[in-house]
Chain A
Amino acid sequence: MKLYNAKLLTITCEILAQKNVIDILHKHHISGYTFYEVGGSGAKGIRGQGFQNEKNIKIEVILQEEKLSDVLEEIARTLFSDYAIITYVSDVGVIRTEKFV
């Protein structure tokens, strides 16, 4: 079966930044994403313990390369300085490319 190239953008961040990330995705007309709660450790110490508001989440978005740099730029500009957040991009193959416009 033929696979088409797409980009997987993964964002691990504190739960209170989730809304900001999703707002940015919507702004760029990306409506599909997956998120789940995670825990771990990073520059800001052990994360994901304590209050509900201090949980961490991981958001995964598959998108076309053309949109990627705009989304990344906006996330970096608006969120990197103030929130606990890690972002990376990987190449993935998808079957139905029309689902990830």
Chain B
Amino acid sequence: MDILELVQANILTPVVLFFIFGIITARIKSDLKIPEAISEFLPIYLLAAIGLHGGLEMRKTGFESMLVPLLVAIGLSILMTLYHYQILKRLGKFNIFDSYALASTYGAVGAVTFSVGLSFLKNQGITSEGYITAILATLEPIAFIIAIFLTNMAVSKQTQIKKQTFVKNKDNTDLDTINVEQKKKLFQVLRESITGKAIVILLGSIIIGYAIDIDGFAPIKIVFDDLFVGAIVIFLIEMGIIAGHRLDDIKKGGVFLIGFALAIPTINGIIGVLIATYLGLSIGGAVMYGLLFASASFIAAPAVLRHAIPQAKPSLYITSALGITFPYIIMILLPIMLILSTTFHNMESINLGSYFVEAWK
């Protein structure tokens, strides 16, 4: 199918239309909003549904096939966070705190984006490997930990330089206490992001999904499978409203940030699809794998980063992730990644085919 055609078809799905609808209601200053309890409940529901789905699928595929994609994903996530930082710091001229915060927002995985990706594939009738959900749960804390670790290093280096210039016969005890405090902070962030509700519900549901198998899933299927897309639709009204209220902030971020928020997901997503194809994931699996790297976190990231890097401006990273990257991914990048994934898979099978022909001769 033509890319434009697929993008067009994708925009005319309830998920995307209701998101746009949410933005419009915010722009016309309507008082429409989703009740607070529901908008708090929905992310938990979505993560539980994703987790169960992943657990069920993992039972079919087993753990062994997951190891290589998982390790590659961790490596990629670290690399990407580092190069985001270099781009933001050197080209974007952001300060060190904003650079690290933005770098890890884009290095982290967006669970909402992930749910929309699953519903997009469901809509196309394509399945994906369940273990990608487990990779999602593993990747979630990693980008934060790297960014926080690097920020702490940078800050302690700065204080060290300051100390040395102020106090000539340097007193190491002060520096030691700073280091100990930073280690404590790093450990605390690590603990908080692992015991945070997103990871806990995701991992819990994966394990439960794995344990109950298809038979156990049958009685709850109506809630966690059939209602899944409908729940995303309701949640996206809320996301649209919040994004709509923030549209004015986008201008404050500047042209560079807009460009970054569009280019980085595209590049990362395509790299992800390519690598997944190379690793032998299915067409749908490669799209979801690419989505892990394309997406930016706008719910989990602010909660962690506000504590870990309080000097960074949250309006920058929330606005760019929710206001620019998220709409771009669900409207345009998802169909593009699907087409690329299909093309890469076809190319590979052709190559393999010709290889076999060569071998026969």
Given A50-B242, A50-B245, A52-B40, is A16 in contact with B299 using a C-beta cutoff of 8 Å? no
For residue A98, CB closer than 8 A to chain B, the reply is no
Given A52-B40, A82-B311, A83-B310, is A16 in contact with B303 using a C-beta cutoff of 8 Å? yes
Q: CB distance A16 to B245 under 8 Å?
A: no
Q: Which residues of chain B are near A20, meaning CB under 8 Å?
A: 307
- For A55, the closest partner residue in chain B by CB is B36
Q: CB distance A53 to B302 under 8 Å?
A: yes
Q: Which residues of chain B are near A82, meaning CB under 8 Å?
A: 310-311
Q: Which residues of chain B are near A49, meaning CB under 8 Å?
A: 242, 245
Q: CB distance A19 to B242 under 8 Å?
A: no
Q: Is the interface of B mostly helix, strand, loop or mixed?
A: helix
For residue B184, CB closer than 8 A to chain A, the reply is no
For residue A51, CB closer than 8 A to chain B, the reply is yes
What is the bound-complex CA distance between A52 and B245, given in angstroms? 15
Q: Which residues of chain B are near A14, meaning CB under 8 Å?
A: 306
Interface string of A33-71 (1 = CB under 8 A from B): 000000000000000011111100000000000000000
Q: Interface size class for chain A?
A: 10 to 19
Taking the nearest CB of chain B, how far is it from the CB of A82, in angstroms? 4
Q: CB distance A51 to B299 under 8 Å?
A: yes
What is the bound-complex CA distance between A53 and B245, given in angstroms? 16
Q: CB distance B306 to A16 under 8 Å?
A: yes
Q: Which residues of chain A are near B245, meaning CB under 8 Å?
A: 49-50
What is the bound-complex CA distance between A49 and B245, given in angstroms? 9
Q: Which residues of chain B are near A50, meaning CB under 8 Å?
A: 242, 245-246
Taking the nearest CB of chain A, how far is it from the CB of B301, in angstroms? 10
Q: Which residues of chain B are near A19, meaning CB under 8 Å?
A: 307
Taking the nearest CB of chain A, how far is it from the CB of B53, in angstroms? 25
A residues within 8 Å of B by Cβ?
14, 16, 19-20, 49-54, 81-83
Beyond A16-B307, A50-B246, A53-B302, 8 extra complex contacts between A and B, CB < 8 Å: A14-B306, A16-B302, A16-B306, A50-B242, A52-B36, A53-B299, A81-B311, A82-B311
24 contacts between A and B (CB under 8 A): A14-B306, A16-B302, A16-B303, A16-B306, A16-B307, A19-B307, A20-B307, A49-B242, A50-B242, A50-B245, A50-B246, A51-B299, A51-B302, A51-B318, A52-B36, A52-B40, A53-B302, A53-B303, A53-B306, A54-B302, A54-B314, A82-B310, A82-B311, A83-B310
- Which 9 residue pairs of A and B lie closest in terms of their CB atoms, listed nearest first? A82-B310, A16-B306, A50-B242, A53-B303, A53-B302, A82-B311, A52-B40, A83-B310, A16-B307
